[in-house]
Amino acid sequence: MADRYQLRFPALEIRQSEGTTLYAFAADGKQVPLFAAVSRVGRDSAASITGYQRPEVVAHIAAIRQYLESGQPMIPNSIVIAFDERVKFVPAQAKSPTVYSRAVRKAAEMLGGREELARALQVAQAEIDRWILGEKKPPREVFLRVVDILIEDSAGNDASGEPPAGREAAGDTHAAILD
């Protein structure tokens, strides 16, 4: 009997229609083989078609594998995975937002989404999701980059073209005060 283990990912529940619920989540590409397999198109003993995926092109698979095994791979496109009854989606326990989760969420909104923030910070989108949910705190240097994004956005010029009051005195350096 194989060892049992759990993987947990922050997920969004989407009720597409009556009786149809989808879940969206981000996972590091290196983790996908831990919970998914490819069901190849074929025929069973009754000649009925089974599976979903057409045969792979070996060179293409090798290129994808090389990319996934690189330093920090990021797959900018979604993939669809059909799960069987062994996979459960359970409501997350609500946590009070922290200064870290609020800052990361706001920076993602400012840049146009979690994927854009992940790209700007050069981290996996799954990390962004964990920080927003308060499951982890971002490393200090990453958090300071988040603060820079927030400051740069709030320090934009007004209609007169003049910097906001006090901006000149602050110079180009930023300070973050952490509790």
- In the chain (179 residues long), the average pLDDT of successive 10-residue segments reads 66 83 79 77 84 70 81 72 77 77 92 92 91 89 95 64 41 32
What is the predicted pLDDT for the residue at 110? Answer: 92
Global pTM reads: 0.43
CA–CA distance from 148 to each of 158, 160, 173 (Å)?
Answer: 19, 23, 10
* Pair 37, 111 in one domain: no
* Pair 151, 102 in one domain: yes
What is the predicted pLDDT for the residue at 76? Answer: 64
How many domains does the chain divide into?
2
Work out whether strand 20-25 and strand 11-17 pair parallel, antiparallel, or are unpaired.
antiparallel
Separation between Cα atoms, residue 71 and residue 175, nearest integer Å: 30
* Pair 97, 54 in one domain: no
Can you list the positions of beta strands (E) in 18-98?
20-25, 42-43, 49-50
Separation between Cα atoms, residue 13 and residue 29, nearest integer Å: 21
Cross-strand partners of 53: 40
Separation between Cα atoms, residue 125 and residue 115, nearest integer Å: 6
* Pair 101, 58 in one domain: no
Q: Are 25 and 11 in contact (CB under 8 A)?
A: yes
Residue positions counted in the chain: 179
Separation between Cα atoms, residue 81 and residue 110, nearest integer Å: 30
76 inside domain: no
Q: Where in the sequence is the domain holding 102, given as residue range(s)?
A: 93-155+175-179
